[in-house]
Structure 1
């Protein structure tokens, strides 16, 4: 089972949320006494939004634009010594052969499936823990005594009237509760600790009821539920958990401030005195999403008392300042850098073309999970084997170097097929790589460092713009240096054929000169009346070749056939095998 796309999004979102939480914490220190308690609480909703929104638009103001710098300074792929594949051309038919070899380094990667399994186990454990906390709380509530005395109920009704609340909210008392709390999402109840309920004056009750009713009015129980769901999904991220712990604390401070806004100056002292009576911390878990309690711990209580003593009603200027700062911060943390956004289709599969003839080619793909797509460009008929795999997007590997060459030429980083880039001096495991190269020789030997060097000199925005114009697979170049090599960029065999068709017809957004240059370096063999052009690609992960490509087109007089073969396997699955399968099929069909 493949780890779902959702999991990759979750990991990326959790990382960006960690940065968001750190920025919020820094700003809270800077503006600790300059902005209101409500602002200090509300700003945490940016963290909630960062974690909850499935898709966020891009912005040049995003803090995550730093990702572009990281992409440019990222190290080279891990050289795993002998764990590489060398794919060599051997003449299948008589003709003039262009030397073409696909040297491929292994990509080091942690199994996403293993990480996904660990994540699922963590989700189950965390969800079980939170569920037990809430079940225990509900049992306590069920065994509690309802408050029926006239005086506290009259105080409650006056508080509700003051806050324009019409909902019937009963009051209960329990010896198991050490702090007043609001309980219940759909049927809210106010819980009072029975051990000092009898010692509460009418004013004490009024302050407590105001506090809990503000929790109700602000829908804090619902917020608790959303936070708990997020915490379950991001159980592995301590920064997210700490951020939400601080959010809960700031919520109590904001609730205090809201109560003080309802009182006159002389009542601030009495409200603080009532809070001091609640210094004994609750024994209920803070992860009981169905509760919003008055107190949390003594350290927080001390901070709350200090805030109450120094409370001043918020001025209009402070409100405006807080609002402007929140808006500016949202542009920074709630937007993505274009370099880490999906600019193409988010679908995992491509659309099936019309005029398709499905073929049974099982005999050619024994031992592989593969697909074959052939387009008769003259008749506009597709011949497809394995519909599912032909639509499924996978890493293009070195076949992307066709597009990379076009972009390099179009942006001026490459002049022509003879553009030489000096060898970087690194001793590679492949002798042909350890020398100077031109575009033509680098394409033939699939020299990664050559393509990396000129690609790094091109702004990611420009590359992305070309991806959009071409419609190249998912157009996701968010991976680091080699985003085309078992990384973020993915394309299906059907889409490979579509891109090659537009390349052949000179319908891609590149000059005719540059298209002709790439067509020239793609040529593999010229036979009597026929020309075969193509490119192999191999994906090696942790020393095992798991992904093989061979794409290209065959010209036979006026006839043009465009093809893409992809094979998947656990190991020994390379572009060489994909090419051999392609040539066998084309030969048996009589095209060669």
Structure 2
């Protein structure tokens, strides 16, 4: 099984490559219908596209895309090493029908190695790129410190005139340096223009005017901070040839856009002179040595392209502006549609946003002892919450076998099984629990927590239907990308204890608008005990990774004296952390609150 990071890494880069190709095709195919400035601005969408995988954005409608490689999950789903958990319930008191808390180990040795190697590979490249970027930044600082303010009064006068023409009020000093071949602009908060010292000594007023206008246009259009973003994109996507090509094209389009902005400030007779100035700097490139800077120079190929743009320049018409805006909007829509694919698992929703205010926070740490856990209780009649360990109660984690409540409900609602006909044949695989090695119905599968039954049920229900129901009831992060047989077993699907209680409340009141008979069938299967005037329903869950029980659940509700109380307990630890211990902690708390008694 590829880990979620590996799946996301592959899908993200395939998607980014395809979107870059789409942008290039749009720009080339509709070249005559897009203004030079919009040609450049379209690349801003490309930069946004690169940022999306690195920020928290909840994946929605297209989250199932992550399952494109989930068949790799299924290939290993039968090869896990089983483990007989300790602490199988032995309470046989009258009226008590305790579920067996059975679990199967999830072997993560190979995926962890793959995941680790992939992350180390990526981070190593990022560190190398960061090293060269920092070195370039230090060279820029050294260049600035070695540069001298221009004292030539004619240059200062030209700068003032050019600033007025470009409508720029900010003070932008001009420096000179003997270490440059072509002019550059540098600095986000304290921008400055640095000229090669020979330009000052040779002083050509026309040439310097064009240079200053060009560099001021870079400042006016915020090209310097954009340059920083482009540098960080190279760091994070150092391995991506499509990204490097797109960044090169973006730099070329930026210079074309800057030239066009300068031409709007000149009369037609000056176009040739401006082009001649560019030719003088052909092949003189300072920017690769200083990646945070923008400049006038470029390669001969780049300068040739810019000269062609200058000689064919015509002010854009109103119709060209309209077409450019429409094409930009279409390109933006394409990026927006692909946002869920890019953002899936980039930064998963690990914390649930809970907005209730009628909450009592209690210190129940004495019940949890060595476990790091949480307890959530909801009083239906008083509409009041009791929570222990708020941060843990909102943290989303794997539901493990507690998901089986909803697997059963989805199977019933989809017609895969019915309350009267819920038997599924044994798959003839020998499991470590004798109770698993026979055909099962809904009641026996719930009570013996039979994994193969619910895996088979989900397979029959189908991924598309499961995703529909998961989204309909808002089950946790709604992420089934871990594979249809494994997403609920310490994999992609996550849910918080608070959400468990909310869902149980909706289940109990049938706020899902499912068939009442289906709700009743699952509720009956969850029945644990009836004694002393209370009726207890619930389901345990255990997360077992590499033969260690690390995640324990007990969720359910108790009917007492005309009221219903919904609860969820979760415990985390390195081992011996299972549903049985979560159940025992829950019952101790419920007894202390006089909500549960045994005869």
For Structure 1 versus Structure 2, the TM-score category normalised by the shorter chain is 0.7 to 0.9
Report the equivalent of 1:536: 540
Deviations 1:409-456 (A, max 9, x none): 345555436245677899988887788765445544133232244151
Q: Is 2:525 the partner of 1:521?
A: yes
Q: 1:490–1:180: structure 2 CA closer, same or farther, 3 Å change rule? A: same
CA deviation after TM superposition for structure 1 residue 49, in Å:
3.0
Q: Distance in 1 between matches of 2:502 and 2:472?
A: 18
Q: Distance in 2 between matches of 1:173 and 1:448?
A: 72
Report the equivalent of 1:493: 497
Report the equivalent of 1:74: 70
CA deviation after TM superposition for structure 1 residue 92, in Å:
1.0
Q: Distance in 2 between matches of 1:33 and 1:426?
A: 65
Q: Distance in 1 between matches of 2:381 and 2:117?
A: 47
Q: Distance in 1 between matches of 2:357 and 2:104?
A: 32
Of 95-104 and 538-547, deviating more is 95-104
Q: Runs of 5+ in structure 2 lacking a partner? A: 1-6
What is the SS of the residue equivalent to 1:573?
coil
Does the aligned pair in 1 maintain the 2:139–2:290 contact within 8 Å? no
The alignment covers a number of residue pairs equal to: 573
Q: Distance in 2 between matches of 1:107 and 1:400?
A: 20
CA deviation after TM superposition for structure 1 residue 327, in Å:
0.2
Does the aligned pair in 2 maintain the 1:80–1:543 contact within 8 Å? no
Q: Distance in 1 between matches of 2:560 and 2:421?
A: 28
Q: Is 2:362 the partner of 1:358?
A: yes
CA deviation after TM superposition for structure 1 residue 43, in Å:
0.4
Q: Which runs of structure 2 are paired with 1:11-410 in the superposition (5 Å)?
A: 20-32=19-31, 35-51=34-50, 65=62, 68-71=64-67, 74-75=70-71, 76-77=73-74, 78-79=76-77, 81-85=79-83, 90-94=89-93, 95=95, 97=97, 102-104=102-104, 106=106, 108=108, 109-110=111-112, 129-195=132-198, 197-199=200-202, 201-228=204-231, 239-240=242-243, 242-263=245-266, 267-283=270-286, 285=288, 288-289=291-292, 291-335=293-337, 347-348=351-352, 350=354, 354=358, 356=360, 358=362, 360=364, 362=366, 365-374=368-377, 385-410=388-413
Q: 1:338–1:274: structure 2 CA closer, same or farther, 3 Å change rule? A: closer
Q: Distance in 1 between matches of 2:547 and 2:23?
A: 42
Tell me which of 547, 570, 573 is aligned to 2:574.
570
Q: Runs of 5+ in structure 1 lacking a partner? A: 1-7
TM-score, normalised with respect to structure 2: 0.78
Tell me which of 455, 458, 462 is aligned to 2:465.
458
CA deviation after TM superposition for structure 1 residue 155, in Å:
4.1
Tell me which of 543, 553, 557 is aligned to 2:557.
553
Deviations 1:256-312 (A, max 9, x none): 2333344455544433332121124334545543x2111243443343344445545
Report the equivalent of 1:5: none
What is the SS of the residue equivalent to 1:44?
helix
Q: 1:546–1:330: structure 2 CA closer, same or farther, 3 Å change rule? A: same
Q: Distance in 1 between matches of 2:330 and 2:409?
A: 39
What is the SS of the residue equivalent to 1:550?
strand
Deviations 1:291-340 (A, max 9, x none): 21112434433433444455455444443322211101111213456687
Does the aligned pair in 2 maintain the 1:14–1:234 contact within 8 Å? no
CA deviation after TM superposition for structure 1 residue 56, in Å:
6.8
Report the equivalent of 1:4: none
Q: Distance in 1 between matches of 2:368 and 2:350?
A: 29
Higher-helix-fraction structure: 2
RMSD of aligned residue pairs (Cα, Å): 4.5
Deviations 1:489-514 (A, max 9, x none): 43332432343244334455433222
TM-score, normalised with respect to structure 1: 0.79
